[in-house]
Amino acid sequence: MSPAAVDLHVELLGLSFASPVLAASGTFGYGAELAPLCDLSRLGGIVTKGISLQPRAGNPPPRICETAAGMLNSIGLANVGAEAFLRDKLPFLRGCGARVVVNFFGESADEYARCAERLSAPGVDALEMNISCPNVDAGGLEFGVDPDVAGRLVERVRGCTRLPLVVKLTPNVTDIVPVARACVEAGCSALSLINTLKGMAIDAQSRRPRLARVFGGLSGPAIKPVALRLVYQLAQARLGVPLIGIGGIASGEDAAEFLLAGAALVQVGTASFARPDAAARVAAELEELCRAQGVAAARELSGALRVDAAAAPGAGARPR
């Protein structure tokens, strides 16, 4: 007797995803680079490298270094720009067999709006807006750390595209819930979380920072507990939009944990640097986990975490 089939499909944002596992922005290039090494048909979607209106060379090297249980990057959002992306990269993605989610950013609200409008092209299924970028109109303050600023930005961009608009949240805030709520009230379709945590690394022998720009974004297994907590926290806030979990996912069990915490989809990021086929492997392992537990559809895991009422956040329990 053959093993029972597991349904990995997820209906979300008016789209059908073949799997709840997507490849995360900035870790999977523009898709074609990893296609020979990863079965793209196993993925629910590919979230592209962040795209800006104009090409960007990014930061000077060194701009990546390994850390304990993760890595720091200060790539500086290097990319080919919107026009080259549409001309040279999107044709492959249209036929890759996975949903196409284009991550984008700007240095001003006007740039964000113009970029979203330009990238709303045939073959693009959804947009993911990175609001962890410095706002040049506000002296370099990140768009995503202030609820009012984030809300106004989402409202501006929402008026420039009919595509599903996912907002990618930064964890570098005191309280993520007000920022998330402002984005939802401004009209975003979903929230993805989290982006990288700000960190640094030092070479004690040379007494110099390991990154040319000193600070970088920490990703990988080291940030998974933080990401899980924030996904669960927003799920409990019941904001009325789907959540996409990101942060240290390297196995099917990791993906299941994010689904249980309240995510509807997950993204595999840093693990792809160690194994280019990581996202496809995570999808296969998630399917096997569901089969072993007698779960007919992976979506049944979403929000199914069992928490004792007395231990639930807000019920008197405090971290030790």
Local structure of 209: helix, strand or coil: strand
| Residues 263 and 231 sit within 8 Å (Cβ to Cβ) | yes
d(CA 144, CA 154): 10
The HSE-up count of residue 41 (CA atoms within 13 Å, CB side) is 0
Separation of CA 222 from chain center: 16
Establish whether 133 is a catalytic residue. Answer: yes
Tokens of 285: 């392992």
d(CA 311, CA 315): 6
- 139, with CB counted inside 10 A (0-12, 13-18, 19+), is exposed
φ and ψ at residue 71, rounded to 5 degrees: -155, 155
DSSP structure class, residue 229: H
Q: Which of 115, 133, 160, 188 is catalytic?
A: 133
**Which residue is it, tokens 């090494």?**
37
d(CA 303, CA 300): 8
**Catalytic annotation, residues:** 133
